[in-house]
Amino acid sequence: MQRKNILRTLLFIVFFSIGATAMYLSIICDELLQSYDLKQQLKAEKELRNRLESLTVDYDAVLENLQKDPNLLQRIAPATLGTEREDEQTIYPKVTPEQLNAARKALSKEPDQQFPEPAVPDWITRCSRPPRRIVLFLAGASLILISFVFFVPARQRSREE
């Protein structure tokens, strides 16, 4: 008699746990989707902040160099503005626009952009669809009912019965 109660208790725990988990998952699907979206937005914002901080440090260094060396402005102005240089005794290499575009693309690539992470796992996307959420909720509820009806430990019969 004791083994039957132990087996019934184990089956009750298993069925009830699976049913409760299914019901809980069907209820919180929207919150899971929102959580993944917020995590992805936070990651994008951190990357943008890091890039802006890097640009700020670079521009601060250029401004500091401009304050220390006034001739630096004359040297970098033609490259920045795209005008011809005034020094006739120096030969400057000509760069084609295709080469400049290729260099910009190579410098702007970040390792995180090469292998993007999937935004939301597929199983959450599938579970969040309304018909599947309803089925998941009903399946969980039926498992809980089954566990209460069939796997509750049997009561000890009294001798009078």
Distance CA 71, CA 32 (A): 58
CA 154 – CA 146 distance, rounded (Å):
15
When pLDDT is cut at 50, 70 and 90, the band that residue 110 belongs to is: low
- Helix (DSSP H) and strand (DSSP E) numbers for the chain: 6, 0
pLDDT digits (tens, 9 = 90+) for 114-145: 555 667 888 888 888 999 999 999 999 999 99
Q: What is the pLDDT of residue 115?
A: 53
Burial of 157 by CB count in 10 Å (0-12 exposed, 13-18 middle, 19+ buried)? exposed
Spatial contact of 137 and 29, defined as CB atoms under 8 Å apart: no
Using the predicted structure, report yes or no on whether residue 88 has a pLDDT greater than 80.
no
CB 2 within 8 A of CB 147: no
Least confident of 13-17, 18-22, 104-108, 120-124: 104-108
pLDDT surpasses 80 at 6: yes
Give the mean pLDDT of 4-14. Answer: 88
Which residue has 């979206």 as its token pair?
A: 37
Q: Which SS3 state, helix, strand or coil, does residue 50 take?
A: helix
Contacts of residue 92, defined as CB under 8 A and 6 or more positions apart, other chains included, come to: 85
Which one has a higher pLDDT value, 153 or 151?
151
What is the per-residue pLDDT across 23-80, written as a single tens digit (0 to 9) for each? 999 999 989 999 999 999 999 999 999 999 999 998 898 888 888 887 777 777 766 7
Predicted local confidence at residue 105, as pLDDT: 80
Domain boundaries, the chain: 2-108+122-150
Q: What is the pTM assigned to this prediction?
A: 0.57
Q: Could you tell me which of 116, 127, 115 has the C-alpha nearest to residue 33?
A: 127
Conformational region of residue 77, where left means phi above 0, alpha means psi within -120 to 50, and beta covers everything else: alpha
The token pair that represents 108 in the structure block: 């702007």
